[in-house]
Structure 1
């Protein structure tokens, strides 16, 4: 088997592993292996093939790390609608009760009674509200 074919087989193995892990980092390393295969196809010595594969792989990983896909999301997932499908759903609040500086209510939602808290900066009026965040068993809402 020729050198370039070995590089491409290794890249294919990493592509298959990337499908199971779901990260883009193995995809970037596979890109480096493909670059090594392209250089090997050109008839360059093994040392240069390894160097090109390493350089392209490192640059691809660093580029991914600096992109928005490689950054970790800071903060909590309490207000992320991709994690909590209740975010953005509507509820009906019949009556607010003042507890210090916050307003609390108890409402039925999804077949159970939930504690609801009004987000700061909104007026405590009964009626339709939208879930903006979930903290434990408490729904934080804003008027619709």
Structure 2
């Protein structure tokens, strides 16, 4: 088997492994292997093939990592609207109780249940508020601009 065929088979194996992992990073490594196969097809030596495969695979992996599809840092689930459907929703707060230092608490009905509501550094006026965070059965809100 010639060198370019070996590179192509290895790239295919890595693509199959990627299907089991569910990430795109192994695809980037397989792109490097395809670049190695192309350099073998052109006729470069083994050392050049390895360097080309390494550089292309590394650049592709770094490009993926810095793109919007790359690895995301740990996101607090209490504040992530992709995890919690309540983030960004509107809640009507009929009355606030001042706790001091600009902190207010309330009890309000939301989705058919009574919730503890907390607001830091607000005015304490009744009205509509946007849910910013969910901490157990407590909603952290800010004043709605709608």
Pairwise CA distance, 1:18: 2.6
Provide the rounded CA distance (Å) in 2 between the counterparts of 1:23 and 1:81: 22
Identify unmatched segments of 5+ residues in structure 2: none
Match of 2:36 in 1: 36
Query: How many residues get paired?
Result: 143
Change in 2 beyond 3 A, CA 1:8/1:87: same
- Residue 124 of structure 1 corresponds to which residue in structure 2? 124
Deviation at 1:105, TM superposition (A): 0.9
Name the counterpart of 2:109.
108
TM-score by length of 2: 0.79
2:139 corresponding residue in structure 1 = 139
SS in 2 for 1:50: helix
Greater CA drift, 85-94 or 51-60: 51-60
Q: Report Cα offsets for 1:45-78 as digits up to 9, x if no partner.
A: 3332222212222233344445555454366333
Question: Which SS does the other structure have where 1:140 is aligned?
Answer: strand
Distance 2:127 2:82 in 1: 26
For structure 1, the 5+ residue unaligned runs are none
**Residue 8 and residue 111 in structure 1: after superposition, are their counterparts in 2 closer, same or farther (change >3 A)?**
farther
Secondary structure of the equivalent of 1:108?
strand
Aligned match of 2:76:
76
Q: Name the counterpart of 2:3.
A: 3
> Cα offset for 1:21?
2.6
Q: What TM-score, normalized to structure 1?
A: 0.80
Q: How does 1:8-19 map to 2 (within 5 A)?
A: 8-19=8-19
1:6 and 1:143 map into 2 onto residues whose CA distance is 62
Distance 1:54 1:20 in 2: 23
RMSD: 2.4
